[in-house]
Amino acid sequence: AALSKDWAAEDSLYKAIVQDIPGARMLRQDPVECLFSFICSQNNHISRIHGMVNRLAQMYGKKVDVDPNAPEIIRYKELYGDDSSFYTFTDIEALQNAREDDLRQAGFGYRAKFIEGTASMLYDMPGGGKQWLMRLRDMTFDQSIEELCLLPGVGPKVAACVALFSLDKHSSIPVDTHVWQFSLRHYTPHLKGKTNSPKYHPEIQAAFIKRFGDYAGWAH
């Protein structure tokens, strides 16, 4: 709430928006779940992403016992269908058994090879993939992005999402086509006429940080 008040004082556009949308909750997500969820998100929409993440859990996670009469379970079934089976998200040890053909048959499309490749690469990391991801929390933003982009299927936008939502990089600005157009209109008009390219993303991030400070990613 304090950050939002400061942002509204600094930015008239934010001030206008926050009247109708007073806040959002930021997740400090588990890096493994966050990484594979955003690999699924590429060129995708929310309902398909939701289905893919659930299928990863069903295929490689563990079933969780729930009370089918609990209010939140009833509400879930109203929203997503009459399926009260729930699973933990998978870990890297289980995911490294994932095979591209199986994932393609389950509807993951070209993302299947990225899931298989990233799981295999993380599994082979010294000390384990979970530990490798967790250590990125102690690195700078640029270092963590560089490391994440070594993984199959992870580019600057996916890396920036993972950094923001699970690696404590609070000033991270993931730039997709919507953020690119928004920034050109309001914060980086000097980039008009340029093509959305990762080489310009640091300029967009710098513009957001100049306006919103160290928690610019939250404002974004």
Side chain identity at residue 38, one-letter code: F
* Spatial distance between the Cα atoms of 219 and 173, rounded to a whole number of angstroms: 9
Residue 128's region, left for phi above 0, alpha for psi from -120 to 50, else beta, is left
Residue 74 carries which DSSP code? H
User: Residues 198, 200, 206, CA angle at the centre, nearest 5°?
Assistant: 115
Sole residue written with tokens 């400061």? 6
**Which distant-in-sequence residues (6+ apart) come within 8 Å of 210 by Cβ?**
none
Residue 172 · residue 142 · CB < 8 Å: no
Residues recognised as catalytic: 157
Closest C-alpha to 166, from 178, 154, 177, 176: 154
